[in-house]
């Protein structure tokens, strides 16, 4: 079945407009005709329906996403197969992929990257807690909503820990640019694999390029295994750099212990609390970091520059490689061992080649949208950075974390900011997603390290509009069997909103399913009166929704419309005419 606008899947999901086309299928915006919800429909391409591997991967995405209930993971509502098509019904997430943001902006602010890392890591922790490893974390699978929330998508190649992969061949799954060394070496994925991939994402967002590049997938996979990443740009604070580099450590044991630890460290660095970040991820506070706020009385000499990776040969290389001088006494043993390393090198190339072949045949078939955003990085080992300590921030600067204020009452947040020494101005933003969120903080600028006395702008949610009371419904003619149709004109919603559903109630009657109330996208409902002589009473309200803001509270009920199923008049006998009252024929007087 070829997707087209207006086509309905599963008898309830009506396509409206195409959102995206990927390697495996298409994503469409659709309406759930049963409950009136706007959803996304991910439809598998017809050519993959005959491939059991692709179809199983598609089914797995629904199963895996259903295992996790977390605000940072896009919901999957339903799955279906019909008329030669397979589809997923998913949450429609407003916003754009992180890959699009990186392609457009090249690099992102440090605070923004830390926020994305923290949110993604928290969502991954929820997945890891139920034994689920995503295995394909990359910018194209991280959606960013207009209010800055992160949603992880595409659990199609995720794997339950300790279970077999989707195929019996043990093929490697993922995207080679974000592949961990253990995956590139053909080893199983683990929660630490997702942390590594997220570290590559953070590096790319901060530097505008990926740390490992190559002319082929084999070259990139080998770079993940053997090469050290180039230093991040100098404007990235050293504790942040240390956190990112710890995520992309070659050994899983050297990475943050859990995704939750990574999230805590990123959140602490957003606050400028290096000590708390170090508790979560010890690699941040080693000899190679500079504290944002060193202890009072400590001079700049207390801060040490981030230790660069040491120049030298490939990891685990034999004596005699660059960085390990060989004296005359070592020459003979080196020759004896040379053939061993040739064998090791050949075996390594065979392993990497197999991994990349598996990626090409069975991995993430959808091309990474962010591929064009990266710039080639040098493949040489980065020399140690300058040992000149970074300047310690003065006491006139404070670190503002947006998440500490968003959602708070505007007056409360403004008072807290003024107490810190900032000037504050408040501006109205979009209507609140719910009435109880009116006059709360929706956004805050600037954030990060801000000078005391600077002007801080709070954008607050405004009171959402209310849906107008709808018109009184019209009652049709009651049939002899007691059926009556109530209809009404389409409701008008406030600007920017559209009708998502009508909710009706009835007394002394039921609809065709036997219900006395329900939701509908139609403007008419047929009711069966309970009994002759009953007065059927019908009313309805309207719910309006905006994709960018949310759903308004339902309107008040319309005025009621009534209809009565009149009982048929029973004919009576006229004693004077001598007829049978039921047949109208003369009666026999005898």
126 & 257 share domain: yes
Question: For the chain, which ranges sit under pLDDT 50?
Answer: 157-173, 287-344, 346-347, 355-395, 572, 582-585, 589-590
Q: Is residue 389 part of a domain?
A: no
- Report the alpha-carbon distance of residue 170 to residue 168 in Å, rounded: 6
184 & 291 share domain: yes
Q: What is the CATH number of the domain that holds 551?
A: 2.60.40
409 & 434 share domain: yes
Which residues, listed in sequence order, are joined to residue 120 by a DSSP beta bridge?
Answer: none
136 is known as an active-site residue = yes
106 & 58 share domain: no
Look at residue 554 in the predicted model and tell me its pLDDT.
87
Q: Is residue 521 part of a domain?
A: yes
How many domains are contained in the chain?
A: 4
Is 564 strand, coil or helix?
A: strand
84 & 101 share domain: no
Q: Which two tokens stand for residue 495?
A: 């600007």
Look at residue 22 in the predicted model and tell me its pLDDT.
67
- At which of 434, 462, 490 does a domain end? 462
Q: What is the CATH number of the domain that holds 226?
A: 1.10.510.10
Q: Is residue 379 part of a domain?
A: no
- At which of 76, 91, 106 does a domain end? 91
Q: How many beta carbons lie within 10 A of that of residue 235, not counting itself?
A: 9
Look at residue 293 in the predicted model and tell me its pLDDT.
38
270 & 139 share domain: yes
458 & 489 share domain: no
- At which of 436, 462, 488 does a domain end? 462
Q: What is the CATH number of the domain that holds 27?
A: 3.30.200.20
Identify which of 306, 290, 287 has the alpha carbon closest to the alpha carbon of residue 383: 306
Q: Is residue 64 part of a domain?
A: yes
Q: Which two tokens stand for residue 44?
A: 């598998």
Which residues, listed in sequence order, are joined to residue 40 by a DSSP beta bridge?
Answer: 29, 90
- Please check whether residue 461 is in contact with residue 408, taking contact to mean a CB–CB distance below 8 angstroms: no
Look at residue 78 in the predicted model and tell me its pLDDT.
87
Q: Is residue 147 part of a domain?
A: yes
**Does the predicted model carry a pTM greater than 0.85?**
no
Q: Is residue 151 part of a domain?
A: yes
59 & 182 share domain: no
Domain encompassing residue 83:
8-91
Choosing from 32, 111, 115, 136, which is the catalytic residue?
136
Q: Is residue 214 part of a domain?
A: yes
Is 280 strand, coil or helix?
A: helix
- Please check whether residue 147 is in contact with residue 460, taking contact to mean a CB–CB distance below 8 angstroms: no
Residue written as tokens 């490939």?
Answer: 314
494 & 522 share domain: yes
Give CA separation, 22 vs 19, 257, 316, 365, in Å.
10, 34, 40, 8
Q: What is the CATH number of the domain that holds 446?
A: 3.30.10.20
Is 115 strand, coil or helix?
A: helix
Q: Is residue 327 part of a domain?
A: no
126 & 237 share domain: yes
Give CA separation, 350 vs 185, 345, 470, 580, in Å.
10, 9, 70, 103
441 & 513 share domain: no
- Report the alpha-carbon distance of residue 413 to residue 440 in Å, rounded: 9
Look at residue 429 in the predicted model and tell me its pLDDT.
87
186 & 39 share domain: no
Give the helix/strand (H/E) hosting 275: helix 274-280
Look at residue 373 in the predicted model and tell me its pLDDT.
34
Look at residue 587 in the predicted model and tell me its pLDDT.
54
Q: HSE-up of 505 (CA within 13 Å, CB side)?
A: 8
- Report the alpha-carbon distance of residue 173 to residue 159 in Å, rounded: 10
Look at residue 278 in the predicted model and tell me its pLDDT.
95
């Amino acid at each position: 079945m070829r997707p087209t606008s207006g086509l309905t899947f599963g008898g309830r999901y009506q396509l409206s407009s195409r959102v995206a086309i990927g390697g495996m299928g298409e994503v469409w915006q659709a309406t759930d005709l049963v409950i009136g919800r706007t959803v996304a429909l991910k439809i598998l391409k017809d050519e993959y329906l005959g491939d059991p591997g692709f179809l199983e991967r598609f089914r797995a995405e629904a199963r895996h996403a259903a295992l996790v209930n977390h605000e940072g993971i896009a919901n999957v509502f339903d799955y279906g197969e019909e008329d030669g098509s397979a589809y997923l019904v998913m949450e429609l997430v407003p916003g754009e992929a992180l890959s699009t943001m990186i392609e457009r902006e090249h690099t992102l602010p440090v605070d923004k990257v830390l926020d994305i890392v923290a949110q993604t890591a928290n969502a991954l922790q929820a997945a890891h807690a139920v034994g689920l490893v995503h295995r394909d974390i990359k910018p194209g699978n991280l959606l960013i909503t207009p209010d800055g929330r992160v949603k992880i998508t595409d659990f199609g190649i995720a794997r339950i820990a300790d279970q077999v992969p989707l195929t019996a061949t043990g093929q490697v799954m993922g995207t080679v640019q974000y592949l961990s060394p253990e995956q590139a070496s053909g080893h199983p994925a683990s929660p630490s694999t997702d942390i590594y991939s997220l570290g590559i994402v953070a590096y790319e967002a901060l530097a505008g390029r990926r740390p490992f590049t190559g002319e082929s997938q084999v070259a990139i996979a080998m770079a993940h295994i053997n090469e050290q990443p180039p230093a991040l740009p100098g404007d990235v604070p050293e504790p942040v750099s240390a956190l990112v580099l710890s995520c992309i450590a070659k050994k899983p044991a050297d990475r943050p212990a859990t995704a939750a630890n990574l999230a805590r460290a990123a959140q602490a660095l957003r606050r400028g609390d290096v000590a708390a970040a170090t508790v979560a991820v010890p690699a941040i506070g080693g000899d190679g970091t500079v504290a944002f706020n060193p202890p009072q009385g400590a001079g700049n000499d207390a801060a040490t520059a981030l230790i660069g990776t040491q120049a030298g040969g490939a990891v685990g290389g034999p004596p005699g490689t660059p960085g390990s001088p060989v004296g005359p006494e070592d020459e003979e043993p080196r020759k004896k061992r040379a053939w061993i390393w040739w064998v090791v090198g050949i075996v390594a190339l065979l392993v990497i080649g197999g991994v990349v072949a598996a990626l090409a045949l069975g991995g993430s078939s959808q091309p990474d949208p962010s591929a064009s955003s990266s710039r080639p990085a040098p493949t040489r080992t980065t020399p140690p950075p300058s040992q000149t300590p970074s300047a310690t921030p003065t006491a006139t600067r404070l670190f503002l974390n947006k998440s500490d204020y968003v959602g708070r009452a505007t007056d409360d947040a403004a008072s807290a900011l003024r107490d810190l020494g900032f000037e504050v101005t408040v501006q109205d933003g979009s209507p609140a997603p719910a009435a109880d969120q009116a006059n709360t903080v929706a956004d805050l600028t600037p954030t990060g390290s801000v000078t005391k006395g600077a002007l801080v702008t709070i954008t607050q949610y405004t009171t959402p509009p209310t849906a107008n009371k709808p018109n009184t419904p019209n009652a049709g003619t009651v049939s002899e069997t007691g059926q009556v149709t109530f209809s009404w004109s389409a409701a008008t919603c406030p600007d920017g909103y559209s009708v998502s559903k009508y909710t009706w109630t009835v007394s002394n009657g039921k609809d065709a399913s036997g219900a006395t109330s329900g939701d509908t996208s139609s403007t008419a409902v047929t009711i069966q009166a309970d009994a002759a002589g009953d007065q059927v009473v019908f009313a309805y309200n309207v719910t309006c929704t905006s994709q960018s803001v949310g759903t308004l509270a339902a309107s008040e009920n319309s005025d009621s419309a009534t209809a009565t199923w009149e009982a048929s008049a029973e004919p009576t006998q006229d004693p004077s005419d001598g007829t049978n009252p039921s047949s109208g024929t003369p009666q026999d007087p005898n």
